[in-house]
Structures are given as structure tokens and as C-alpha cells.
Amino acid sequence: MTAFDIVDKYIKFFEKRDHKKIPNSPLVPKNDPTTLFTNSGMQPLIPYLAGEKHPEGKRFVNVQNVFRGQGALDDINEVGDNRHLTFFRMIGNWSLGDYFKKEQLPWIFEYITKDLGINQEKLYVSIFGGHNEFSQDNEALSVWTEIFENVGLNPTNRIFHYDAHKNWWSRAGIPENMPEGEIGGPSSEIFYDFGKDLKLHENSQYKNALCHINCDCGRYLEISNTVFMQYKKQPNGTFSNLPQQNIDHGAGVERLLMAAENQPDVFLTSLFAPTITTIEKQTNKSYEKNVREMRMISAHLSSSVFIADANVYPSNTEQGYILRRLIRRSVDSFNKLGGKNLDNIIESIVDQFKQTDPNLVENFEKIKGTILEEQEKYAHSQKRAKSFLIKKYKHQGDELMSNTEISAEDAFVIYTTHGLSPTQIKNLGYSFDQQKFAEKMKEHKNLSKKGAEKKFRGGLADHSKQTVMGHTATHLMHTALRDMFGTDLHQSGSNITSERVRFDFNFDRKLTDEEVAKLEKVVNKKIKENIPVHFEMIPTDKAHEIGAIGLFMDTYGESSKIYFIGGDSKNPEKSYSIEFCGGPHVEFTGEVKSFKIIKQDALGRGFRRIYAKVG
Ligand code: SER
């Protein structure tokens, strides 16, 4: 049984039961600003689970790539044990107000025991036992009782109850943590038992604890989660019923493989084992003696491969920051084991996933380039941090050696100037006053929060006349660039002050002098035409339909603020530019007066920055 077979059998199982296969959504959601990465299979289906009619029916199945390293679903710190990964593939099936518990639970049991051949004696289930205003799920209890009785197993030893901390699912966790508008419901999970003789945690905190199916010792593994998606959080904190009762089932392919192979360590399943062997070869060390480090390398680099494949580049913000953390964490573990060359490990990971994700092979050079470049940058930052400290402390007459105590102020300079986190500074062998560092960090965060509030005004430093003129110029430039180079080009950021306009976009080379002249000419022509600029609040779907572009920062759920330069939502063909945008803008393009490019910069792989002046 391979990971590929697990997916293939699941899709066929549900296709036979009239489910339509839906595609794997992009790992970086295109139009959902609530999460940086797709973190569950249900995410692209949220509007339909909430009651909107799906044009393709009521039964769906898919396999979704997900990343859980942020927000309520953050597993980054869990990596290192026998089963936690941050990137994994999730198979899922959904009923949008169609079938419910009495179909779903027997089907999943059948798929796991018959199609995958997993030993039924090793299976246990949990159901929702009630929480605050929600009562115990007696329907799931009676369906499971019948399933176990039908196959000759005693249900009393197989079914366990838990409250919402274990048996409730929403993207934000328990009901209390769900924000207004979020959907969720009670769940029922299936667990696989690796047996009481498992010696995974002989020295762990769990060694004397009473083991139960939902404890974290590693003996039992959750392999399937069915959510009965029924509720929506209201503004006053209460819950209302969704217009329909839905099924949202998800199961991690890697975990099903562990159960199918009866292998309690995911890194030793047929999927990950070749990568572990490659790491052993590259470091000349054994897995047995370096389990934690090798798991970190394997899990974090696998996530990095998929995130880099989604066109994310390491940076200090958002998705880029997560990628930077993951790569640096794997590099730390790799360096600790004396490894140097990550090439073969990346290759082995791509090999590991290529049957289910063939695009990784096509994008191999880009993926490898992104990771290796960050490894180099990290080494460079470490070198600069060290030489900063050597200079500083020699100057004070001290020799700087490993384990040297440095001041919290200096550690903070390294953090802000060279981008090394406190742990990364400690990994270099320096110690410092943690509490003082935390205080400095708090001050810094307050300052950046203020900065971020400003930045969130659509990249505008202020709302002065000059800045607003620059803002309208970015919309003109955006369309002009797309007309010149094609619609794959899109804005990736902007920062506008009264001094200058800064505009970032995806493009892989410097603009030639002729191209710069042409861009200036087109934008100045549109300024001269003195076209009216206005906004409308329109349904987000409609905005997409009429071809609105932009960063989607100003999408407010179902309706969005859209700026038009010329035309309007009824006559979009008459518009020069249609963008999702918070504003503000000038009323007529003529107010921008003139536009001139003053500088171009490269922003790293595939992204450029243009500086311009207006007025
Ligand atoms: N939404 C649930 C999960 O992600 C089931 O698909 O676990």
C-alpha cells in the first residue's frame, strides 16, 4: 500500500457513491485573507457548507494539500514526535445538506477496514460528549454501536466520549474561540491502536499517565475525523443552526499509511523512509541516535518544498516569514548533525511526493533555488552577527567565545539587524538575559503594531493630497504593466508616501529604457485624459466576474470595495482599471498631473520594485 493507493482508493470509493471530485486548492489561498495557508480540506467549501448553493451538486470528494503552521492549527512546535507533520495531504468527503451520520460513519469504517485492509480489532472511536449548551451526540453513539455489533466487536470497549476540546471542530478550535460568522460542529474520530507494548515514550512525561485513546503518548493515532458541520457563531456569541446539516470528513494520508503499515513512526513509513536514509547518508549519523533532528529536517523541509512550489519566497512577513522559519529550523538541525549539502535531501523529498504531486518535478529547480538561497542567507546573517559580536566584545577587552554571555541589548541588535531569532542566537552559542530581551521585544512589537496599522491603509503612509495622487498612479501603472507584459503580472505590494510611489510586482528582469519610456508615456496619457475615478461596493463574485484585480486586502466577505478608473460595474468594458482597493483616490486622473519612474530594484527571485514620482 502506498500513499498514492490510499488516495486513489478513497476517491474511487466516494465516486462510486455519486461524489464529484473537486480539485486540490492552492496552498496559498487566492481569495481568503483569513489564513496564510490552506489548512483544511473544507476551507474552499466554506461558503457552501454555510448554505450557498454549489453549482456542481451536494456530494464532493478530494485530496487537499494542507499546511498547519499558523493560528489555531499550528503544529510547528509539535514536530519531532512520531506522528506530527506541518504539511500533509488530507483526503476529504463532503455532504452539503445531503446524507448525514448514518451513511457517513459506516462508509468510513468500510473504506478503512475493507479498502485499506486495516485490522478492525485495532480501531476505536470518539464521539462528542457535550459542552456547555451542546448536548451529547447520541445519534453518533447509536450509529457506531450498530457498526461495531455488525462486525462482532463489543461497542462498550470501542466508543469513548470527550468534550469540545477533543470532539468539536472549527478552524478556530472550541466554540468559545470561534469568531463571529465562523462555522463548526461536533466531531467523531477514529483511532488506531499501535499496542500497549509500544516503547515510544519510555522517558516521556506520559510514562506514568493513564493511557486513553485521545491522550498524546503516541500509542493511539487519530486517522479520521468526521465533523457534523451544523452551527454558525452569531455576533452576540450564541450559535444558530446552519440552513443545512453537513458532513465534513478529513483524514491525513500519511497517518492512514502508518496504520496500513502498522508503523508507529511516520518517518519510517514507506513514504518518508527514503528521505531519512538520505539524511543519514548526508550527515553520516544514524536515525536511531538523532531521531528528533532528522524528523525536524524531514518534516520542515517537506513543508518548505511545497510552500516554495506555491511561489512563496522567504521574507520577514506573512507566508514568507513562515517559510523562512521552516528552512532555518531544518538548517539548524542539519548543521547540528554536521550536514552541509541539502541538495540530495530536497531531491529525495520531491521524489517522495512526486507520484501524488508531479508538478514538484517540473518546479524542482525553482524549489531547490529558493531553499538553498535562504540557507546561504542564513549562513551569511550568522557570520555577520558573529563578527558584530567579536568586534564589540574584543573592543571591550573580552575574548568572544562560545557560551559567552552577551547583553540583551546586543542580542536584540542581532535580532533586528541580522534577522536571527533568540533561539537562533542561542544556537550560535551565546547566552543573554531572556527577560530583558522579552521586554525589548514587547516594546518593539508595540511600535511595529502602530506601523502595521498605518501600512494596512492599503500601503499609504498618510492621506495627504500628494500620497493620494501617488495611489491613483499605482492603479494606472498596474494596468499599463499588464497591458505591456500580460495578465500574469500582478502587484505584490506597495508603499506610498508624499515623497514617492513604491510598487512591487512579479517580473523576472529589469525593464529596458524603452520599456520605462513606454510605461511613463501610457500612464501620462491616461492622466491627461482626465478619466473619472470612483468606487462601488459590489458582490465579491461579481467583482471577479468583471475582472477586478488587486491584493484582495479590501475584500469584506461577500461584498468588496472596487475602484474604477473609467466605466462602472455595469459598463466594465469602458473601465481602464478595476481594482479591489480601500482607497482613497483622486476624483479625476488629471489631478495626478505627471508620472516619472525614478528607480528600479530587484526584490529577489521573480519580483521587481519600481519607484516613481507624481505631480
Ligand atoms: N475539517 C476537519 C479537519 O480538517 C475534517 O475535514 O480535520
91/357 Cα distance (integer angstroms): 14
In this structure, the residue with its CA closest to atom 4 of ligand 1 is: 40
Q: How far out from the chain centre does Cα 403 lie? A: 36
Mean pLDDT of 316-324: 84
- Report the nearest atom of ligand 1 relative to the CA of 171: 1
In this structure, the residue with its CA closest to atom 6 of ligand 1 is: 250
User: Ligand 1: which of 61, 227, 247 to mutate, most ligand atoms within 8 Å of CB?
Assistant: 227
Question: Band of the pLDDT at 457, cuts 50, 70, 90?
Answer: very low
Whether residue 104 has its Cβ less than 6 Å from ligand 1:
no
Predicted confidence (pLDDT) at residue 213 exceeds the cutoff of 80: yes
Nearest to 190 by CA among 114, 266, 125: 125
613/469 Cα distance (integer angstroms): 10
Predicted confidence (pLDDT) at residue 61 exceeds the cutoff of 50: yes
Peptide bond into 584 cis (omega under 30): yes
2/117 Cα distance (integer angstroms): 13
Whether residue 246 has its Cβ less than 6 Å from ligand 1:
no
| Domain boundaries for CATH 3.30.930.10 within the chain | 3-267
**Residue 481 burial by CB count (10 A; 0-12/13-18/19+): exposed, middle or buried?**
buried
- Report the nearest atom of ligand 1 relative to the CA of 229: 1
Whether residue 108 has its Cβ less than 6 Å from ligand 1:
no
pLDDT for 30 equals 65
Nearest to 605 by CA among 398, 406, 317, 320: 320
| Domain boundaries for CATH 3.30.980.10 within the chain | 465-614
Question: Band of the pLDDT at 449, cuts 50, 70, 90?
Answer: low
Mean pLDDT of 222-242: 93
Nearest to 158 by CA among 141, 172, 171: 141
566 C-alpha to center of ligand 1: Å? 44
Nearest to 504 by CA among 472, 464, 474: 474
Whether residue 227 has its Cβ less than 6 Å from ligand 1:
yes
256/83 Cα distance (integer angstroms): 11
| Higher pLDDT among residues 32 and 533, named by residue | 533
Question: Band of the pLDDT at 41, cuts 50, 70, 90?
Answer: confident
23 C-alpha to center of ligand 1: Å? 17
237 C-alpha to center of ligand 1: Å? 23
Question: Band of the pLDDT at 558, cuts 50, 70, 90?
Answer: low
Predicted confidence (pLDDT) at residue 452 exceeds the cutoff of 70: no
Whether residue 186 has its Cβ less than 6 Å from ligand 1:
no
User: Ligand 1: which of 62, 85, 90 to mutate, most ligand atoms within 8 Å of CB?
Assistant: 90
544/550 Cα distance (integer angstroms): 10
380 C-alpha to center of ligand 1: Å? 40
Whether residue 229 has its Cβ less than 6 Å from ligand 1:
no
184 C-alpha to center of ligand 1: Å? 10
42 C-alpha to center of ligand 1: Å? 7
DSSP category for residue 349:
H
Whether residue 189 has its Cβ less than 6 Å from ligand 1:
no
Whether residue 44 has its Cβ less than 6 Å from ligand 1:
no
Helices (H), 68-189: 101-110, 138-150, 164-167
- Report the nearest atom of ligand 1 relative to the CA of 226: 5
Whether residue 39 has its Cβ less than 6 Å from ligand 1:
no
In this structure, the residue with its CA closest to atom 3 of ligand 1 is: 250
Mean pLDDT of 327-334: 93
Q: In what order do the strands lie in the sheet with 607-614?
A: 491-496, 501-506, 607-614, 595-602
Question: Each residue of 369-391: pLDDT tens digit?
Answer: 999 999 999 998 888 888 888 87
Low-confidence winner among 21-30, 330-339, 509-518, 527-536 (lowest mean pLDDT): 21-30
226 C-alpha to center of ligand 1: Å? 7
438 contacts: CB under 8 Å, gap ≥ 6: none
The model scores a pTM over 0.75: no
CATH fold group of domain 3-267: BirA Bifunctional Protein; domain 2 (3.30.930)
Question: Each residue of 188-212: pLDDT tens digit?
Answer: 999 999 987 766 555 556 666 667 8
| Higher pLDDT among residues 36 and 200, named by residue | 36
Question: Each residue of 344-371: pLDDT tens digit?
Answer: 999 999 999 998 899 999 999 999 999 9
Whether residue 42 has its Cβ less than 6 Å from ligand 1:
yes
- Report the nearest atom of ligand 1 relative to the CA of 40: 4
In this structure, the residue with its CA closest to atom 7 of ligand 1 is: 250
72 C-alpha to center of ligand 1: Å? 13
Q: Please give the CATH superfamily to which domain 465-614 belongs.
A: Threonyl-trna Synthetase; Chain A, domain 2 (3.30.980.10)
Q: List the grid coordinates of 368.
A: 531547490
Question: Band of the pLDDT at 494, cuts 50, 70, 90?
Answer: confident
Distances in Å between the Cα of 504 and the Cα atoms of 158, 459, 469, 489, 495 are 57, 11, 18, 10, 9
pLDDT for 216 equals 74
- Report the nearest atom of ligand 1 relative to the CA of 227: 5
